[in-house]
Amino acid sequence: MSVNTYYDGLEDLAIRAVHEAKAVSKCPIHDEVTVSNGNFDAEKLAYAIATKLLKDENGGDLAGREDLLGMVKDQLENACYECPHCESALHD
């Protein structure tokens, strides 16, 4: 497995985890924008879901967990609190 494939796979799991936990959502108008739901409990749940997804994908092996949890953190930190496109349209 290449390094890119490894990280792409983990990133996919991280994205699935934050969405399944409902820690983030897509802007209903701008699908490319991820918006934080501001729910601390959902954010904590995203880490647990990510661990479970990794375990399920790897037959119980948790190799890569630290990398995955870092990617979950990145997904949460990079989510906007408001869609910048919608926000700017309101002030135009």
pTM reported for the whole predicted model: 0.88
Q: How many domains does the chain have?
A: 1
Which residues, at least 6 apart from 2, have a Cβ–Cβ distance to it below 8 Å? none
- Of the two residues 66 and 60, the one the predictor is more confident about is 66
Confidence class for position 88, pLDDT limits 50, 70, 90: confident
Task: Write out pLDDT tens, residues 16-56.
Answer: 999 999 999 999 999 999 999 999 999 999 999 999 999 99
pLDDT-above-70 percentage for the chain: 96
Residue span of the structural domain in which 15 resides: 3-90
CATH number, domain of 7, equals: 1.10.10
Q: CA–CA separation, 26 vs 37, rounded Å?
A: 10
